[in-house]
Amino acid sequence: MMDNFFHTCLTRRAFMEKTAKVCLKAGLSFIFFKGFPADASDSRVLSASKGKEKKPSASEPVYLKLHKSGELAERAAALESMMKECRLCPRQCGADRISGGKGFCKAPGMLPVIASANPHFGEERPLVGRGGSGTIFFSHCNLRCVFCQNWEISHAGRGAGHSLENLADRMLAMQKAGCHNINLVTPTHYSAAILRALDLAAKKGLCLPVVYNTSGWERAEVLSLLDGVVDIYLPDFKFKDSSISSDYAAGADSYGEITARAILEMQRQVGTALPESDGIMKKGLMIRHLVMPGHTKDSVRIIEWIARNLPENTYVNIMAQYNPAYKAFDHPEIARRISTEEYREVVRAAEKAGLVNLDVRGSWWLR
């Protein structure tokens, strides 16, 4: 049970802020959680699994076709054009980021700010496998949730600026370390730079699937430019009720409606996520939902929407690890952990709705 705990419930904040040693399997000694250096000249590589570098598989990542045709660079240019009066996210704040202006998300200019780039063993098992998920945590965020567990990164912008070449090198380093994928966390406000770096990395031999790890609040126009680039979409579906999203996500009352449309488009692009024979996910849609205290009715609405609009075997991770953080204590109704019964209520709703591919953890540690 504790092994399951470390694989599925280690929070991102705990992962990045605490150096930990986790015993995974016999023959896999220690995993060292330390970010790659920001200095591009430092070529040290974390080989978390001591594994061999990944080789192209029979089903190569979708972005390689666009790289070979030159269209990947064209997609990056199209995203860059949206940054003159920034409209990369649903806020469409209009900041001139090409000239160095900061948008609502606080991202400075065009080049990415990165908090950490590591082999990560705290994501979903089909992404982690034995080699880990090559996770790049981008700084800043357009949603700005009051309960954000990573507020130092998403709100305060902790991290270091990286050139496109450096970002490409980080991707290649994690491939060399034995990671199963490149996992882009909160990527949308840096999507143009990511595609540029992906193009550079592909030229140098990158062949890992790309995971787009997002809040779910995505514009259709941006998603259309990611069609054929992203292998695995990993969106949150946080809220359905507009009043809840407005209260907790800086006035984002459109979150539920826009995220629902975005998830349908993600499903159209990559289909249902089903692991390969080795248990590793290479393509598809994987949805996360974090159960929040006092809001199980909204959780059930999300679950029922998924059951009505997506295949019954859609991968849905019902997460129990809500922990009040940042400004959650300004909202008494969410200033506590969830209860066992709250979590079980949502799981029962998912089972009743007919969803059959649930990532559900034990609730022994809840009160």
pLDDT tens string 110-134: 999 999 999 999 999 999 999 999 9
CA distance 111 to 114: 10
Using an 8 Å Cβ cutoff, are 38 and 162 in contact?
yes
For 33-157, where are the E strands, in sequence order?
A: 113-120, 133-138
Q: Tally Cβ neighbours within 10 Å of residue 222.
A: 19
- Reading the block at residue 144, the tokens are 């700005």
Fold (topology level) of 2-37+44-360 = TIM Barrel (3.20.20)
- Reading the block at residue 159, the tokens are 């991290």
pLDDT digits (tens, 9 = 90+) for 273-304: 999 999 999 999 999 999 999 999 999 999 99
Nearest to 211 by CA among 188, 189, 185: 185
pLDDT digits (tens, 9 = 90+) for 161-195: 999 999 999 999 999 999 999 999 999 999 999 99
CA distance 138 to 124: 19
pLDDT digits (tens, 9 = 90+) for 9-47: 444 444 444 434 333 333 333 333 334 333 333 332 333
Predicted TM-score (pTM) of the model is 0.85
Using an 8 Å Cβ cutoff, are 334 and 293 in contact?
yes
What are the residue boundaries of the structural domains of the chain, listed by start?
A: 2-37+44-360
DSSP state of 1: -
CA distance 189 to 89: 7
